[in-house]
Amino acid sequence: MQLTVWTYEGPPHIGAMRIATAMKGLHYVLHAPQGDTYADLLFTMIERRDARPPVTYTTFQAQDLGRDTAEIFKNAVAQAYERFQPQAMIVGASCTAELIQDDPGGLAKALALPIPVIPLELPAYQKKENWGASETFYRLVRALAGQPVERAPREGRRPVCNVLGPTALGFRHRDDIVEIRKLLDALGIDVNVVAPMGATPADLGRLGAAAFNVVLYPEIARAAAQYLEKTFKQPFTDIVPIGVKATERFVEAVAALAGVDPAPVLAGAPSRLPWYSRSVDSTYLTGKRVFIFGDATHALAAARIAATELAFKVVGIGTYSREFARELRAEAAEHGIEALITDDYLDVEAAIQAAAPELVLGTQMERHIAKRLGVPCAVISAPIHVQDFPARHSPQMGFEGANVLFDTWVHPLMMGLEEHLLGMFREDPEFHDGAAPSHLTRHGSTAIPSPLRRGEEVGVVPPAATEPSGTTPILIAPWAPDAEKELKKIPFFVRGKARANTERFARERQLPLITLETLYDAKAHFGR
């Protein structure tokens, strides 16, 4: 067990809550101690939902541990049924309640409720949130999808599919569904059921009527799709349509499953990303170093888009989704690097600093890390914060999603260049922070001397720094003021690399101070 201030995934019962909250007519009874209701805030505060999750907590207290906690659970199940009248219920235990071993499934079965009650076994000390969501959706599909049905011949009718994977608290899942529905409709394909988002238990009973399945988020829906393939003979595609090329492959794969022609849809692909990435304004971004970290679905997609559609250089890729480590390692090998498989944000921070990227694509945590390191960042994956659930339509998938990605990834670099230009002229007598407006200066106003920042003194050399917490401390030589000033003239998107190379140069030569000459010598050394 490790004490930490950040976790990329919650325990598996949070994944179960994501499924229950996404669906309608389903209720989750969670055997949990008082205080575990904090999870509601993930949906009401961060996702900005207008209703709390459909979850009933037993909220037993310490004083109840010497009594019959099983009776508390049975009462909670019975009361939840009477109050909410759901079509189906799922029951399980939180990580704390798991230690009591009250067997929620067996206790709920003993009540003999007139609705399906699906027990969940979510080992909180071995598995995490995405696995919990996947297992919950799989159990629901297995319990509610019913028996195989004989599908009628398709003559004269449009092909029909299911769309699987979107959940509550998912990164842009709501908007992705809109784009995927548009693509499928343009191909002449009808959607039978979207699940779990927006589906009822009764809808899951209709899954077998579709000819095939579309898996948008493999972490969530691949296990359920594999079950449907085996039971209902429904093939599926799990090509994730993020980026122009992946969307084209997705359209071709879906068209092949449906027996339709993809050409009209591909011919009218509306994404502006290919043109923008080749335009004069974007060519200076070619070869920019990018570090990627997130869930497997979005990290893999981001690496392929960065390398093949935006001409970036992928210098780091990683995920906290250990179940998809093999896929990440294979993708990393394509870029000549090693994948980072970890759920420790300190390892991620150390890897980002070592890679010296010019852009970070990651989660909410990487946003904080990049800010500390002075590197532009765009969020591409959960876990995310409230600003990543925008009121506007902002998909990641499909051709419109590619437009959104281009703006989200490229604009931080372009705006950073503008900031660099402002920084270059900040010391200029006419443009420094304390200078009066130029139209006032003409009328005799005098400029105010630029104030020192807090903690600065004229002629004082900054103290030596060390590497970030979580890594072995390495002493870094201090920078002379003139060298630091010269460093600021280097464009922001290579400044981090220049600083790291110069400090490495000084460290290898055991120099006590990084001077202007040291900066130039390091530049010449690494430029060979």
Q: Is 116 found in the same domain as 187?
A: no
Residues 78, 82, 88, 92, Cα dihedral to 10°? -30
The count of residues in the chain is: 528
In a domain, 262, yes or no: yes
pLDDT, one tens digit per residue, over 504-525 is 999 999 999 999 999 999 988 9
pLDDT value, residue 65:
64
pLDDT, one tens digit per residue, over 343-375 is 999 999 999 999 999 999 999 999 999 999 989
Coil, strand or helix: which one is 311?
coil
Q: Is 124 found in the same domain as 24?
A: yes
Q: 163 burial class (0-12, 13-18, 19+ CB within 10 angstroms)?
A: buried
pLDDT value, residue 68:
73
Tokens linked to 501:
């190379």
CATH of the domain at 318: 3.40.50.1980
pLDDT, one tens digit per residue, over 150-178 is 777 777 789 999 999 999 999 999 999 99
pLDDT value, residue 410:
85
> Does 281 qualify as catalytic in the annotation?
yes
- Report the alpha-carbon distance of residue 432 to residue 303 in Å, rounded: 40
What percentage of residues in the chain have a pLDDT greater than 70? 84
User: What's the mean pLDDT in 296-309?
Assistant: 96
Q: How confident is the model at residue 488 (pLDDT cuts 50, 70, 90)?
A: confident
Q: Is 288 found in the same domain as 222?
A: no
Q: How confident is the model at residue 2 (pLDDT cuts 50, 70, 90)?
A: low
Is the model's pLDDT at 50 over the cut of 90? no
Domain housing 393? 273-413
pLDDT value, residue 474:
61
One-letter identity of residue 528: R
Q: Is 406 found in the same domain as 280?
A: yes
- Using the 3D structure, point to which of 209, 244, 267 is the last residue of a domain: 267
The predicted model scores a pTM of 0.80
pLDDT value, residue 458:
40
Q: Is 279 found in the same domain as 262?
A: no
C-alpha distances in Å from residue 324, one per residue of 62, 167, 340, 441: 39, 19, 12, 62
Q: 420 burial class (0-12, 13-18, 19+ CB within 10 angstroms)?
A: middle
Q: What's the domain count of the chain? A: 4
Is the model's pLDDT at 193 over the cut of 80? yes
Residues 6+ apart with CB under 8 A from 63: none
Q: Is 81 found in the same domain as 113?
A: yes
In a domain, 475, yes or no: no
201 vs 469 pLDDT, higher one: 201
CATH of the domain at 518: 1.10.8.550
Q: Is 402 found in the same domain as 285?
A: yes
Q: How far is CA 128 from the centre of its chain?
A: 15
Lowest model confidence (mean pLDDT) among 120-124, 379-383, 396-400? 120-124
User: What's the mean pLDDT in 125-134?
Assistant: 94
Q: Is 281 found in the same domain as 256?
A: no
Is the model's pLDDT at 447 over the cut of 50? no
Residues 6+ apart with CB under 8 A from 184: 161, 163, 190, 191, 214, 254
Q: What is the DSSP letter of 122?
A: -
Q: Is 35 found in the same domain as 120?
A: yes
User: What's the mean pLDDT in 234-261?
Assistant: 96
pLDDT value, residue 463:
45
Say whether 417 counts as a known binding-site residue. Answer: yes
Say whether 36 counts as a known binding-site residue. Answer: yes
- Using the 3D structure, point to which of 391, 413, 435 is the last residue of a domain: 413
pLDDT value, residue 285:
78
User: What's the mean pLDDT in 10-15?
Assistant: 93
Helix spans in 268-397 (H): 273-278, 280-283, 296-308, 325-334, 345-355, 364-373
Catalytic residue among 175, 281, 347, 521: 281
User: What's the mean pLDDT in 249-256?
Assistant: 97
Q: How confident is the model at residue 21 (pLDDT cuts 50, 70, 90)?
A: very high
